[in-house]
Amino acid sequence: MIGPPNAGLLDSLLHLSEGIKPVTRIPTYPAAIVGTMPSAYQLLPPTRHQPVLDSSGNPVKDLYAPELWRRNHWGLADPRQEKVLKELLPEIQDAWKRREIALDHQAKSLHRAKQFAAAMDLPARSPAGIQLFLVAGIRTPRTGPLNSTPMGNCGSLRKVLVTARYYVAVPCLMNVYHRNRISG
């Protein structure tokens, strides 16, 4: 089995909040599209790793709390995703009803992701007769927590200082993402 580290990926929060632009010439997947994928939430780093800091610099207590996502307008909770929601739910004419459906889906996905993270933390033993092999690859340095700070209509997350190589403090989430990719 090959996959992300058991401690999740901080990039998943960026993808769920701002969407994904895989490569040049391929369209961006808006946050509302990424937010429809329950497995994307399961890639979030567990709260015990303190991956996100609030505006006071304190760790966010529960990254899986739907209220946190609504308050920060992350992913499906971002009102700017209405155009995409209208395409995803063409049979629902009322914008508030579409938003209600999206927020319900997001809350359920966050709940399941929290359950998944808890299950990943349980000790496990290999079944008899099964050999496990360590497959290692290039280490991606941890870039540190994200800092949640209200900053107008831009994404409300910014990187905080972890090492000089990864210091980035910009207001818009995707700027953080792209600068990290370029400098990393």
Tens of pLDDT along 30-67? 999 999 999 999 999 888 888 888 888 888 899 999 99
Position 167 scores a pLDDT of 30
Return the H-helix or E-strand segment holding 113.
helix 95-120
How does pLDDT run across 143-159, given as a tens digit for each residue? 556 655 444 444 444 44
Position 184 scores a pLDDT of 44
Residue bearing tokens 């990719």: 181
How does pLDDT run across 109-151, given as a tens digit for each residue? 999 999 999 998 888 787 888 877 766 655 555 555 665 544 4
